Copies of this chain bind each other. A is one copy, B any other.
Amino acid sequence: MCKDMNSEIRNILEGVRDGNISVDDALLRIKESPFEDIDYAKVDLHRKYRQGCAEVIYGEGKTGAQIKGIVGSMRKNGQESILITRLRGDSFEDISDLDNIRYYKEARIAICGSIPEPDGIGKIVVATAGTSDIPVAEEAAVTAEFLGNEVVRLFDIGVSGLHRMLSRLDDIMSASVIIAIAGMEGALASVIGGLADCPVIAVPTSVGYGASFEGLTALLAMLNSCASGVSVVNIDNGFGAGYVANLINHTR
């Protein structure tokens, strides 16, 4: 039970003692507080370091009408900025008449409202091994930007052409967080992890064929990285990587 709740309940109790609150009212308010506490604590903290209020909708499998409904309800409750992930182009058609909405095609993301000014500790580098990894990378990058981060994109710097990576050494060395995205054998995470001095979030992608097993090989390889400082999210989980990177870049 965290501190805010303590003082809230104390206020209620003092109200009861002083006769300002009935026992029934107090009971009702106390019953609701631990769960509100758990629920909104997180949101409150979010609010602390981001001035707007942002929420996320997982678009996959939702109809345009459903998404419109959720957005409408959120806006009524004061949400200014809303991120909609895994939204197919044809689904966007159905909601494109919403106020102030933009679609990021490669990222399969729509954003309602404005993107905040970056307020993170430093920059988030989003790197990919190949061009086929770019949709996952864009999902990560746009998510991070939406959450208030400056993002540097380093695409197609896979380890089979090491010079491409080394030519971007400055960006890699000066990042606060790096998201390393690769399919096939996923070696990018290890090589970047060996060069960089910041947390590396590795994202295996389902790019490849045969014994890539739709991302499993890259996943296992990244979990076994010989470089320290690497942690891993689910296959193709660009949103998750962007979300973790944002948390790290707002560590407090």
Chain A interface residues (CB < 8 Å from chain B) = 1-3, 6, 9-10, 13-14, 16-17, 19, 23, 26-27, 30-31, 34-39, 41-42, 45-46, 61, 121-122, 129-130, 132, 158-163, 166-167, 169-170, 173-174, 176-177, 184-187, 189-191, 193-199, 201, 204, 206, 208-213, 215-237, 239-241, 243-244, 247-249, 251-252
Contacts and interface: CB of A to CB of B under 8 A. Distances in A.
Nearest to A161: B194
B187 A2 contact: no
Nearest to A182: B226
B193 A225 contact: no
A216 B210 CA distance: 8
B226 A38 contact: no
A37 B163 CA distance: 9
Given A42-B196, A122-B252, A198-B247, 18 more contacts: A1-B166, A1-B170, A2-B174, A14-B23, A30-B30, A38-B163, A41-B197, A42-B195, A159-B191, A159-B194, A160-B191, A160-B225, A186-B221, A187-B225, A191-B191, A217-B221, A230-B233, A232-B232
